[in-house]
Structure formats: C-alpha cells, structure tokens
Amino acid sequence: MSLSRRQGKPMLEYVFFNETFRAQFADYLQDAGVAWTLKTDPIEETLILCIDEPEDDELWDRIDAHYDALNARDQAQTEAESNDLSGAGIYIELANGERTLATIDPDIMNRILSVISMDEFNQFVETIVSSVERPDDSPICKQLEKKAT
C-alpha cells in the first residue's frame, strides 16, 4: 500500500501482482461500499487499486487487514513463480505528477517497517521528496520556524 494524492486529497494505492488477488480485493471494497479505480503501473506492470483515504478509521483498519492477508498470498505466489528473485520499491509521486520507482533492498525495507508504521514511512518519504524538489539549506531551526508560521 502506498499513499499518493489526487487533486490534493490523500489517496491510497494497493498494489497487486496477480489478477486473482486484485479481483478479490476489488470485490471486498465493493462489498464495503468503497469506490475504487484501477490502473496498471507501466514500470512494474502491477495492478493498482486506488481509493480515497477513508475517514472511518475502523473501515480503514479492516481494509488494510484484508489487503495485508491478500498481499501475503499475492507475494507468495509471485515469489514462487519468480525463480527466487526478490525486490522492494517505493513509488514516489513528484510535484509535477510524474511517478518513479525507487528500488530498495528488501531486507532493509523489512527492517524499516519492523520499527515504524507504513504511515510514518510514507510521511518520511514525502518529506525527503519535498526537500529534494524544493531545496532549503537554511539551518534546521529556521526551517522549523517557517513551518510553525
């Protein structure tokens, strides 16, 4: 799952490698009354279901739990079919709307996610992307003052 923005509004993206699991998740969302859109990532050729970030935290938790269960099965099937290839990546959406994929060592990604939540990780990545796109080499205290006002 990743976080992006559509017209400034937070949007969640759920990535699948296999159509079977994507369809099961789409059915789950439909049964939960959650509208979704489908897109295919041109880089990885993955299937991505996009939803607006739910305002109901309990619904969000149920959606995430269902995705986690399907994602584990999706990844297991993909790994079984991939001849021991292993990889992880972060989709990054730039200010101009362009998307890119940053490849990360899966062991490092697993270590990171073992100590922080996906939300914290996404916030961290968004901060880095923003800082790269809008460099500010003023002292940290000055940057914090700017954010406070």
Split into its structural domains, the chain has a count of 1
**pLDDT value for 5:** 47
Exposure string for 39-59, b = 16+ CB within 10 A, e = fewer: eeeeeeebbbbbbeebeeeee
Q: Show the beta-strand stretches assigned E in the chain.
A: 2-6, 9-16, 37-40, 47-52, 88-93, 99-104
Q: Does the pLDDT of residue 113 top 80, yes or no?
A: yes
Q: What are phi and psi of 94, to 5 degrees?
A: -85, 165
Mean pLDDT of the chain, nearest integer: 85
> What are the residues whose beta carbons fall under 8 Å from the beta carbon of 104, sequence distance 6 or more?
88, 89, 90
Q: What is the pLDDT of residues 8-42, one digit of tens each?
A: 567 888 999 899 999 999 999 999 999 999 998 87
**pLDDT value for 73:** 92
Q: Are the C-beta atoms of 46 and 40 separated by less than 8 Å? A: yes
Longest dimension (CA), the chain: 53
**pLDDT value for 46:** 86
Q: Does the pLDDT of residue 86 top 70, yes or no?
A: no
pLDDT band at 84 (very low <50, low <70, confident <90, very high): low
DSSP letters along 41-81, please? Answer: -TTT--EEEEEEPPS-HHHHHHHHHHHHHHHHHHHHHHHHH
**pLDDT value for 88:** 80
0.85 surpassed by pTM: no
Q: Does the pLDDT of residue 78 top 60, yes or no?
A: yes
Domain containing residue 21: 2-148
Q: Are the C-beta atoms of 67 and 12 separated by less than 8 Å? A: no
